Amino acid sequence: MRSEEIRERVEKSYKKYGWTEEQKEVFEKFIKERYANFANPKNTVCSYLDLLNSIVPFIKKPFSEITYDDLEPLLSEWQEKYGKASLHGRRSKLKAFLRWESGDKHDPRVEKIRSGGYVSPVTIHDLLTDEEIAKLRKAAKDDPRDLAVLDFHLLWGPRPSESVKLKVKDVEINDEYIVVNIPQTKTIYRPVPIPLTTESVIQDPTFLDCALNAYTSLMQYLNAHPGYPDDPDYPLWYDLKKGKKHLGPYSL
């Protein structure tokens, strides 16, 4: 995702979620610091933007004046809405932003937010082997949809209940990135990047191989997709037998 696309995304968020001028000023400072100190800050900027987009519609205060009492209703809502991993990530990111904004490592607001430790229930024995992945890809290779579904889920593993709701409009494409925006609520999306090697923050070889597979197969699928790009509400993963219908979670 190029810098001008980040800029456009930020400006759209300011308008859509009703950021105050004071909030904008602080986040602009955050963006400048990231670009000044990190080689690939784009994913970080987007992830913090999405986090704050879930806060600013409800709290119209400068970030420096936001109290724990202001945050408590949102934290309670997150507790009900998100699984353990997502909840841990959101709380940790919020704590990091508040520490950065205040310049106080022991910000009293942060001390009250418990992110806790998250231990994944997945063990090494639950993971697919390289041979098993190769067999799955071979079985799916004759159907562009099946291969794109497989590669996308191998890379990021969204829940089937999230993935089945995706539409063509949830996919953003440029030369270095595909971003799939997974709806969390009617107005909040979780961006899932599918980068090419030169643009990836993660440089693990296994991840890069999976990302290249996902990028390539999704592009090939979209090129044959009956709703792309002219019908933004067409299901991304559509049922071949039922036409313009989403795949069911069990089919996925």
**Total structural domains within the chain:** 2
* In a domain? residue 234: no
* Tens-place pLDDT, residues 70-90: 999 999 999 898 888 788 888
Q: Is the pTM of this model over 0.95?
A: no
* Tens-place pLDDT, residues 111-155: 898 876 545 555 545 678 888 989 999 999 999 999 999 999 988
Highest mean pLDDT among 31-40, 66-75, 198-207: 66-75
Residue 140 shares a structural domain with residue 107: no
Residue-averaged pLDDT of the chain: 85
Residue 17 shares a structural domain with residue 37: yes
The neighbour count for residue 106, using CB atoms within 10 Å, is 8
Residue 128 shares a structural domain with residue 201: yes
Within 18-143, where are the H helices? Answer: 21-37, 42-53, 68-81, 84-102, 108-112, 130-140
Residue 158 shares a structural domain with residue 203: yes
CA distance 170 to 235: 10
